[in-house]
Structure 1
Amino acid sequence: MAYSLQQFVAETRDQRPATGAAFEVEKDCFLQVNLGTPGGTGGILNQVWIKTGSMVAYQGEVKFEREGMMDHGFSNMLKKQFTGEGATLTKASSKGRAQLYLADNSKRVTILFLQGESVVVNGDDLLAFEPTVTHKITMMKKLSSIVSGGLYNVTLKGQGFVAILTHGKPLTLMVAPGFPPVFTDPQATVAWSGDLTPDFKSDVGLKTLLGRSSGETFQMKFDASKGQGFVVVQPHEEFSEVSSSSS
């Protein structure tokens, strides 16, 4: 089908003017962040933390500052030094009204609202969050050689909006007493409840059969004996160069 210019603009234009909400999803794969008047927890923001490199457009005047190595203490500085996390977050701010548009590799954007809870998100799948939400790096040493996007996850806690990314529509699995444990492929695991502590399982036999260190070889195990909550997975496995060469 061919479009006239007028039809193309009408079909693809931003359909949602700023409504006063901090975060809005546009066409499944874009996050619109409304900046300007100080507010937070739902209202227009004066600043926001975003994934570095995720800005695709903005309207108005927006200032960008990368997170400093010492912004969150000495221990986080060491983790950033070894994981590269210090280059993954950028602070965007505006003194006037502005709209910031974020996206990453055509991934689907989902907005979560934390009300004092905590959630752990794969570092590569975290798109943006309000400054009212605290973040802390969690090392994943046992999976450091196979998890795409890296060596770390980010624990988020507090009151405010968080935007996460998934390839396709996510699936959430519950972890609760009386139910069997949940096993997930690390490359397909996006997030889980902050109350859960995953274990890790390795199946050498499958590695021999498959010929590479895949998600079938290494699994994350979520058991209700170590907390209850949920695990989010996506219909896609993300392999890094490290994971592909670790067979």
Structure 2
Amino acid sequence: MQSPLFDQANLEVQAQQRFALQNPQMLRVHLGGDVLAVKGAMVSYQGQIRFDHEKAGSVGKLFKKVVTGEDVSLMRVSGEGDVFFASEAGFVFLIDLTGDALSVNARNLLAFDSSIEWDIKRVQGAGMLSGGLFNTTLQGTGTVAIHTVGQPVILDCSQQPTYVDVQACVGWSANLVPQVVSSMNVRSMLRGGSGEAFQYAFSGPGFVIVQPSEWTPPPAGGSGGGGGGFNLGGLLDG
């Protein structure tokens, strides 16, 4: 049988790394220790693999999930073999944490080492009008896989004030403390608005990841989407 489908680019990657890109839109994880992944992100696996619901881990974290609407539904993936993850054909990027922290929109999260601690944090200044904005903070040592709608851009917030649409913001270095600002005024509201109601305002040493697409805001409540020492892998490639 012959077809361009069987080109080398489409064959399974034989990588030594635990986390590796099968292609720009698919993650391959070789299991040793457990991995936490967003429910529904598994597209294929080889070997003896088990998938279990991952509990919040504490009453406080469970309470924040319920109250905030930050839908971080995770599963614990364990066993021996290889697991392939993807989400909506988004572009996948690997970020190596070395004791530092990353704040990421839950809708852009794909998978991460189970050794990494995670929590839900409220974005400062996010009030009732903005729906309440919450992000998932990941901290520790290990690898985080995120996905973006389209090719993202990394903005350096140390050079000048940086503003990002809250639905296009993928994540940021957690040392940054963004504010939520509004470009709306009474005249604009009376005329139907500009369509650009709320933005994150960043300032100081750190970076923010922006995708060229905006998520549809959740119907109720907010959905997420904030050290040096990051290895941003392909995110910083030219």
Q: TM-score normalised to the size of structure 2?
A: 0.82
8 Å CA contact retained: 1:64, 1:92: yes
Superposition deviation, residue 20 in structure 1:
2.7
Structure 1 residues 144 and 164, CA, compared in 2 at 3 Å: closer, same or farther? farther
Residue 15 of structure 1 aligns with an amino acid whose one-letter code is E
Cα distance between partner residues in 1 of 2:160 and 2:4 = 52
Aligned to 2:224: none
Aligned to 1:42: none
**Can you give the 5+ residue segments of structure 2 that lack an aligned partner in the other structure?**
221-238
Cα distance between partner residues in 2 of 1:156 and 1:93 = 20
RMSD: 2.6
Task: Encode CA deviations 1:106-136: one digit per residue, 9 max, x unaligned.
Answer: 1000001111111101111110111221111
Aligned to 1:111: 94
Superposition deviation, residue 83 in structure 1:
4.0
2:167 to 187, 205, 221: 187
1:79-94 correspondence to structure 2 within 5 Å = 79-83=64-68, 85=70, 88-94=73-79
Superposition deviation, residue 77 in structure 1:
1.5
8 Å CA contact retained: 1:79, 1:139: no
8 Å CA contact retained: 1:66, 1:87: no
Secondary structure at the aligned position of 1:60 is classed as: strand
Superposition deviation, residue 5 in structure 1:
4.9
Superposition deviation, residue 163 in structure 1:
0.4
* Corresponding position: 1:50 with 2:8: no
Aligned to 2:179: 199
Cα distance between partner residues in 1 of 2:109 and 2:141 = 16
* Corresponding position: 1:208 with 2:189: yes
Structure 1 residues 152 and 142, CA, compared in 2 at 3 Å: closer, same or farther? same
Structure 1 residues 213 and 57, CA, compared in 2 at 3 Å: closer, same or farther? farther
Superposition deviation, residue 6 in structure 1:
4.1
**How many aligned positions are there?**
218
2:135 to 153, 156, 180: 153
Task: Encode CA deviations 1:154-195: one digit per residue, 9 max, x unaligned.
Answer: 11111111101111111111122xx32111100110010110
Superposition deviation, residue 209 in structure 1:
7.8
Identity %, equivalent residues? 32
Structure 1 residues 25 and 217, CA, compared in 2 at 3 Å: closer, same or farther? same
8 Å CA contact retained: 1:51, 1:127: yes
**Can you give the 5+ residue segments of structure 1 that lack an aligned partner in the other structure?**
36-44
Q: When you count helix as a share of all residues, which structure comes out higher? A: 1
2:28 to 32, 35, 46: 32
* Corresponding position: 1:142 with 2:126: yes
Cα distance between partner residues in 2 of 1:61 and 1:154 = 30
Aligned to 2:18: 22
Cα distance between partner residues in 1 of 2:199 and 2:210 = 12
Secondary structure at the aligned position of 1:77 is classed as: helix
Task: Encode CA deviations 1:69-112: one digit per residue, 9 max, x unaligned.
Answer: 4x1x2210101223455761111000x3x110100011000001
Residue 49 of structure 1 aligns with an amino acid whose one-letter code is L
Q: Which has the higher contact order (CA 8 A, sep 6+)?
A: 2
Aligned to 1:242: 219
